[in-house]
Amino acid sequence: MNVALGVTGCIAAYKAVEILRGLQKRGSSVRVVMTRHATEFVTPLTFQSISGAPVITEMFAPTDDPEIKHIQLAQSIDLLLVAPATANTLAKFANGIADDFLSTVYISTTAPVLVAPAMNVEMWAHPATQENVRRLRERGVQFVDPEEGYLACRTVGAGRLAEPDEIVRRALALMGSKGGAADLADERVLITAGPTHEALDPVRFLTNRSSGKMGYAVAEAAIARGAEVTLISGPVSLAPPRGAITISVKSASEMHRAVMDNLEDATMVVMAAAVADYRPAGVSQQKIKKNGGGIAIELEATDDILAAVCGERANRIVIGFAAETEHVIENAKKKLAAKGADLIVANDVSAADSGFDVETNRIALVAADGVIELPLMSKREAADRIIDAALNLRIGVPAV
């Protein structure tokens, strides 16, 4: 795998040396691009000595190579990783400013982009920075969010560069590689996503606000990490993930049937769909007319798909989801016990930044061995964390 490692100007630049070594140890070829300010913290010679290749620091440095350097590099990489990424770099990327080699590579490449920000806590929290982060996430840029801790400016809070090992892990996962091999290569993952539509009459139905984005993100992450993926999707407006077998359904009963028909070959099941709990007990064959008065609709329970899968679990890893509006962890623990799943992914869907039809999520992973509440992140990042927990369960270590 070919990686362009962008290093920008902040004190955390020295940690990029560890990131470089971590990528190399796992078989990646790394070309380092440094901004002018980055060279004030670490010398290019350090990165050149470790990478074994010249370090790019200038946009217009003289060269005997007739190729246009930034285009050549942009077209040859499997990943652009920027670590650390300053607030200035995020602003450039978000606004399409290409005034140095790194920002020009960013705007020229079609490879996945992963950034690991590092800055003062107030700079990270500033509305301008958060708006730039939001815009980049919407464009598909992945983030390894900064951690909380003691910062170089002698303040405490979010802004510290994530640990190099975590950045390397995320980079390898994004390229579908871990130690040179996909870590889900032996898994056949069955995923459900989206809402269901429960017919009331020929023109009306009961449904919910699910967009399917979380389930589709899990499918994309699993494919990137080498799994064979079957995605059973309710009605959504998303394009099917490339590389997945996608089965489209409408109702809870159709989803139940599709899941059970495809369960035998699955080694891992991720139930991310927001399946209706109830449906109309009777469906009118004609459109129900408005008569000026009220109307009573009798409802009946739908099939409990998660419970059905857990009842035939064999050696499968089974992960359920809990979309809650209150007592999130408490309700997720109850669901874990009641259904018999290995893991419940819970989130508060009443929150504006982690509810339905947004690009971010704030999830809690609830397992028998404990609970971990994760910070706000992109749904693709959350998908990778869910897969990491599933793999931990596979090898018999704590999921959280």
The half-sphere exposure of 134 on its side-chain side, counting CA atoms within 13 A, is: 10
Phi, psi angles (nearest 5°) of residue 74: -60, -35
Question: Residues 1, 153, 371, 376: which is the catalytic one?
Answer: 153
Strand partners, 157: 149
C-alpha 18/C-alpha 188 separation (Å) is 34
Q: How many Cβ atoms are within 10 Å of 186's Cβ, its own excluded? A: 12
For residues 359 and 213, the answer to whether their CB atoms sit within 8 Å is yes
Q: Which residues of 255-276 are buried (b: 16+ CB within 10 A; e: fewer)?
A: bbebbeebbeebbbbbbbbbbb
Helix runs in the chain, H state only: 16-25, 44-51, 69-76, 87-95, 101-108, 121-125, 127-138, 164-174, 213-224, 252-262, 305-311, 328-339, 379-394
C-alpha 254/C-alpha 249 separation (Å) is 6
C-alpha 12/C-alpha 6 separation (Å) is 13
Which residues have C-beta within 8 Å of that of residue 1, sequence separation ≥ 6? Answer: 27, 28, 29, 78, 79, 172, 175, 177
With CA atoms as reference, report the closest residue to 141 among 115, 180, 167.
Answer: 115
Instruction: Answer left, alpha or beta for residue 154, where phi above 0 means left and psi between -120 and 50 means alpha.
Output: left
Is 10 designated active site?
no
Which residues have C-beta within 8 Å of that of residue 373, sequence separation ≥ 6? Answer: 329, 362, 363, 364
| Residue 174, SS3 per DSSP | helix
With CA atoms as reference, report the closest residue to 77 among 116, 49, 113.
Answer: 113
For residues 380 and 221, the answer to whether their CB atoms sit within 8 Å is yes
Which stretches does DSSP call E strand in 305-379? 317-324, 343-348, 360-361, 363-367, 370-373, 377-378
C-alpha 51/C-alpha 63 separation (Å) is 20
| Residues catalogued as catalytic | 153
